[in-house]
Amino acid sequence: MAHAQAPRITVGVDTHLDVHVAHAGDQLGRRVDTVQVPTTPTGYHDLLAWARGLGEPVAWGVEGTGSYGAALVTAPAELREQLRGLSAAALVRTAAALAPGPIAGPLAAAMLALRTLAARHQALSAEISSLTTELDRLTAKAAPQLVALFGVGQDSAGALLVAAGDNPDRLRSDACFSMLCGASPIQASSGKTTATGSCREPRQVDRC
């Protein structure tokens, strides 16, 4: 008598910070089971055991392998536990201080990758801070009344100043400003019907 063949199982994992939710289906597309596991080494072990208990796992789909799902496919357990529960700022500081040593295995390779990413994050954050300070100074000097308005920060003020150019006096009214933004109402006619539309020519100021 022929033995029944084990179902071919496909697993999809919806990842989160503290728990992962996995859904399993068979080769006919039928839902088989759903499970929720904690994001711990024990949870990952239970997830694998659960999938194997349903049949033959042939494919896994993991959401967010660059964020919450990364631990399922990359970093060794000891490194994940070292970084678990840290705030974003503490995570960057800790990762930047990792000492991988000779790259002779997955743990050292993961530590090197994290340290490199953390160093890049710190460098970009310092660059953003420096440029934001400079943009604050320049916009406040060029248009103090503009940046004094509620809701107008250095980014919006800078974009508006660039769009206005060297001749801001041409913005004599709301109508002139709407034309600059590409939102000035204009008439459009088909020959039978006349309607009012907007001038939607792309404008830099639209991004404010």
CATH code, domain with 57: 3.30.420.40
Residue 143 resides in a domain: no
> Tell me, what's the pLDDT at 201?
47
Give the count of domains, the chain.
3
Residue 194 resides in a domain: yes
122 with 158, same domain: the answer is no
Of 46, 73, 100, the position where a domain reaches its end is: 73
Q: Which domain holds residue 170?
A: 153-207
Q: Is 60 exposed, middle or buried (0-12, 13-18, 19+ CB in 10 A)?
A: middle
Angle (deg, nearest 10), helices 106-142 and 88-96: 120
> Tell me, what's the pLDDT at 32?
93
Cα dihedral value 74, 79, 82, 86, nearest 10: -30
Question: Mean pLDDT, consecutive 10-residue segments, the chain of 208 residues?
Answer: 76 90 92 92 88 89 79 74 85 91 83 88 94 91 88 85 75 75 62 51 48
Buried b (16+ CB within 10 A) or exposed e, 163-194: bbeeeeeebeeeeebebbbeebeeeeeeeeee
112 with 157, same domain: the answer is no
Residue 3 resides in a domain: no
Residue 141 resides in a domain: no
CB 183 within 8 A of CB 199: yes
Residue 2 resides in a domain: no
82 with 68, same domain: the answer is no
> Tell me, what's the pLDDT at 134?
93
Q: What is the pTM of this model?
A: 0.53
CB 10 within 8 A of CB 24: yes
CB 157 within 8 A of CB 143: yes
37 with 92, same domain: the answer is no
120 with 168, same domain: the answer is no
> Tell me, what's the pLDDT at 187?
61
Residue 145 resides in a domain: no
Of 53, 73, 93, the position where a domain reaches its end is: 73
> Tell me, what's the pLDDT at 190?
52
CB 46 within 8 A of CB 37: yes
